[in-house]
Amino acid sequence: MKEDICIILCKCGANVISGEKYEEIKSLIKQLDARVFELSDLCAITVNDRGFLNNIIKNFTRKIVIACYPRAVRNMIQQAGLSYNGFETISFKEYSAGDILQKIKEISGIEDGKADFTLLKSDLDVPAWFPVIDKSLCTLCGKCARFCLFGVYNFNGKRLEVINPLACKNNCPACGRTCPASAIMFPRMAEKTPLSGAEPGSTPNVGGDLLIMLNERNRNRKGIFRNNIMKQAEDERRKALEELKHAVNKKK
């Protein structure tokens, strides 16, 4: 067993992949000669049990994470104030169980055997739903912070931070929809889009008049699309606010 390498398998409390696929991945990983840490929910661990991740960072030089998206995991770990050095993430949204097994072997040299499994359950009693900022894309426009009604962000014009992640309302990605740079992610979303952590798409390389025509058409479509997105964001924000008011009234 390679003592300097471990595998971190996120079960995902939000069930962004099917239970059947998760069990298939787990059964294949069990056949590897490796230290495996099965987490009930990586999102929850980053806000409620950073000590575990600190120990992983100290004790293993290489950490292979099986979770939603590399972009989401990388920025979520960094947002928790931890180093992503030595981590590598394989997406269980993008790859089959067999492909994940193959990629683990390719990047680590781990051989077949019997895995040493450790289970870590989060004791967080609320859903770990919160925004993750991709600072490599963030333009510091502040739209997300201004749109949020729940004090999740701190924005001073020069710095944007998530300071109160658990104040975010479950299943409300409204602030992320307002971001013009796709810099806000919600890893617990099941969809396969930049808002859930997928890499934003790139523009095809075309030239001349065709590029001008396509850009003009794209601007028109984006205007219509943006209006729809803003309406959806406003609806989601309104729903979250109504749910909060209902919860407060129930406590009275």
Q: Supply the pTM of this predicted model.
A: 0.84
**Stretch 3-24: mean pLDDT, rounded?**
96
Among 1-10, 76-85, 229-238, the minimum mean pLDDT is found in 229-238
**Stretch 132-136: mean pLDDT, rounded?**
98
pLDDT computed for residue 204 by the predictor: 40
| Share above pLDDT 70 across residues of the chain, in percent, rounded to a whole number | 88
pLDDT computed for residue 252 by the predictor: 62
Q: Decide if pLDDT at 67 tops 60.
A: yes
DSSP H helical segments within the chain, as ranges?
A: 19-29, 42-48, 50-59, 70-79, 97-108, 143-147, 174-177, 208-251
Residue extents of the structural domains in the chain:
5-120, 132-185+202-251
Identify which has the larger pLDDT, 242 or 174: 174
pLDDT tens column, 109-131: 999 999 999 999 999 999 999 99
DSSP sequence for 160-229 = EEE--GGGSPTT--HHHHT-TTS-EE-TT--S-SGGGTPPPP------HHHHHHHHHHHHHHHHHHHHHH
**Are residues 22 and 66 in contact, defined by beta-carbon separation less than 8 angstroms?**
no
pLDDT computed for residue 108 by the predictor: 95
Per CATH, 5-120 and 132-185+202-251 having the same topology is answered no
Among 3-7, 82-86, 91-95, 247-251, the minimum mean pLDDT is found in 247-251
Q: Decide if pLDDT at 210 tops 90.
A: no
Q: What is the CATH number of domain 5-120?
A: 3.40.50
Average confidence score pLDDT of the chain: 89
Q: What is the CATH number of domain 132-185+202-251?
A: 3.30.70.20
